[in-house]
Amino acid sequence: MSSDPSRSVSKFDDEDYPAFTMGRAAEMVGVAQPFLRSLEEAGLIVPERSSGGHRRYSRRQLRKAERARRLVDQGTPVSAACRIISLEDQLAEYTDENPSDGQEKGSSA
DNA sequence: CTTCTTACA
DNA sequence: TGTAAGCA
């Protein structure tokens, strides 16, 4: 059968493996370093820790951080943004493990 | 040079 | 939320 070395061998794709540093993550999401720390304090995103206590943000973490930035940028408190994203994340897991009905489709941007 | 922490504005 | 100072 055909093998695809370009495909992920582990369940961890480049979503959790690549861990960016603070300046990189902050630049990507467009926020300052203290903001990423506030998200961590809010419990929204807890990045892995590298030697010396240097944070390692993965793409998935940055995605949540970017979503938080959007809410906060619109005037949503960090505490509320943390709750909203947290609930969305939990809801996403629920819908993912419950492919019963595909009523998920409409995306009005 | 880059990150971390704490504090202040 | 953003910036500053000092430290690792």
Please determine, for residue A107, whether its predicted confidence score (pLDDT) is greater than 70.
no
Which of A61, A107, A58, A64 is closest to A88 using CA atoms?
A64
Residues contacting nucleic strand B by the 7 Å CB criterion are A 21-24, 33-34, 37, 52-55
Average pLDDT rounded to a whole number, residues A88-105:
73
In strand C, which positions have an atom below 7 A from any protein CB? 1-4, 8
Which of chain A's residues 30-89 bind strand C, using a 7 Å CB cutoff?
31-35, 38, 52, 72, 77-78
Average pLDDT rounded to a whole number, residues A77-89:
91
Per-residue confidence band for A13, with pLDDT thresholds at 50, 70 and 90: confident
Domains annotated on chain A, with CATH: 19-96 (1.10.1660.10)
Residue A82 CA: distances (Å) to CA of A1, A12, A38, A44, A55: 45, 24, 10, 5, 19
What confidence score (pLDDT) does residue A51 get?
78
Average pLDDT rounded to a whole number, residues A74-103:
82
What confidence score (pLDDT) does residue A17 get?
81
